[in-house]
Amino acid sequence: LRTHDGTLISVTNPGEAAPDANGDFVGRTSPRFEVADGPHGWLRRSTFVGTLKTNAEGTRARIEVYRVA
């Protein structure tokens, strides 16, 4: 990812997904962020969980990410 201020962030998004009744894939993720110290460094020091849904054709994906407090 590249933020509005030009910072580059690498995302590793491991998880598991399985097809639902419609053939879409749904699952859970635990994204990790690699980013330099600075205004976005909190991403590296935080824990996140997320949900994943893709359509059966693989042409759309929606990932919602939540920071665990």
Q: How confident is the model at residue 69 (pLDDT cuts 50, 70, 90)?
A: confident
Q: What is the pLDDT of residues 13-48, one digit of tens each?
A: 999 999 999 999 999 999 999 999 999 999 999 999
**Residue 58 pLDDT greater than 90, yes or no:** no
DSSP symbol at 5: T
**Residue 3 pLDDT greater than 90, yes or no:** yes
Q: Which alpha helices (DSSP H) does the chain contain, by range?
A: 42-45
User: What's the whole-model pTM score?
Assistant: 0.81
Nearest to 15, CA basis, from 36, 37, 30: 30
Tell me which residue has tokens 């693989």: 58
